[in-house]
């Protein structure tokens, strides 16, 4: 059975559940209703992972999303140990994404010159962000944040250069979300309701990364499907 057409009602229900959980989480953050956030945040990535799996996603994509779920759950705590453990979960997710993008780079891969410019741009963004944040970060978080930021930037760059616009925007939004977290840790000025912006960009990032991967897989399958259709109609 083709995973893209298997159980379409279930996959739609899972995607609807993800969207509803995301909306309720953002509303809870907007009005300062902490119990709502505590309930809805841990639901997001399992629903998205189940949707992706039902659509035939590679295991690495499901693993990346479940690592995100681990990070989401741990970051509900304010303890320093939980923050570091959550960062480690997200770092593991970025490693899964990097391995996935290397294996499943699609036909929308950026041309060499544009890819070079993107790599240079992301490198400048990484160096600038770490340099600016470094003095204001707690001493015990400087090296972990710098290491994590390097992985995150590599993931975002790979998404843009190997999978195209949709995944590229997802990777960029992931950087925005985590940069907002880092500036909060560094005690920089924040926008109103910073948690709302962090979750909005994060949820959008993970969704767009999933869509980018699923779209790339569909394009990779299309030539084979077209060939089989021609062969089946040839007398």
What are the domain boundaries of the chain?
8-233
Q: Give every CB contact of residue 233 below 8 A, 6+ residues apart in sequence.
A: none
Give the C-alpha separation, 185 to 215, whole Å.
Answer: 36
Widest distance between CA atoms in the chain: 73
pLDDT tens across 137-170, in order? Answer: 999 999 999 999 999 999 999 999 999 899 999 9
Q: CA torsion, points 131, 186, 98, 14, in degrees to nearest 10?
A: -150
Tell me the pLDDT tens digit for each residue of 105-120. 765 666 677 778 889 9
Structure tokens at 15: 């995607």
Distance CA 106, CA 101 (A): 9
Residues 15, 51 contacting (CB under 8 angstroms): yes
Angle CA(126)–CA(132)–CA(137) in degrees, nearest 5? Answer: 105
To the question of pTM greater than 0.85 for the whole model, the response is yes
């Amino acid at each position: 059975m083709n995973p893209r057409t298997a159980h379409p009602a279930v996959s739609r229900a899972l995607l609807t559940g993800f969207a509803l959980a995301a909306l309720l989480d953002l509303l809870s953050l907007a009005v300062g209703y902490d119990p709502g956030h505590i309930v809805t945040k841990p639901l997001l990535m399992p629903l998205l992972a189940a949707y992706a799996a039902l659509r035939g996603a590679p295991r690495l994509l499901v693993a990346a999303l479940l690592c995100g779920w681990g990070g989401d759950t741990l970051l509900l705590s304010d303890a320093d140990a939980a923050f570091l453990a959550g960062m480690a979960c997200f770092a593991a997710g970025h490693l899964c994404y990097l391995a996935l993008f290397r294996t499943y780079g699609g036909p929308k891969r950026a041309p060499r010159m544009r890819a070079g410019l993107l790599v240079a741009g992301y490198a400048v963004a990484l160096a600038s962000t770490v340099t600016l944040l470094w003095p204001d970060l707690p001493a015990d978080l400087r090296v972990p944040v710098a290491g994590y930021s390097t992985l995150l930037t590599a993931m975002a760059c790979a998404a843009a250069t190997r999978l195209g616009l949709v995944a590229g925007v997802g990777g960029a939004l992931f950087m925005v979300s985590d940069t907002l977290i880092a500036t909060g840790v560094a005690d920089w000025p924040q926008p109103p309701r910073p948690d709302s912006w962090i979750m909005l960009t994060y949820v959008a990032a993970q969704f767009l990364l999933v869509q980018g991967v699923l779209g790339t897989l569909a394009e990779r399958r299309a030539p084979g499907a077209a060939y089989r259709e021609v062969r089946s109609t040839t007398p």
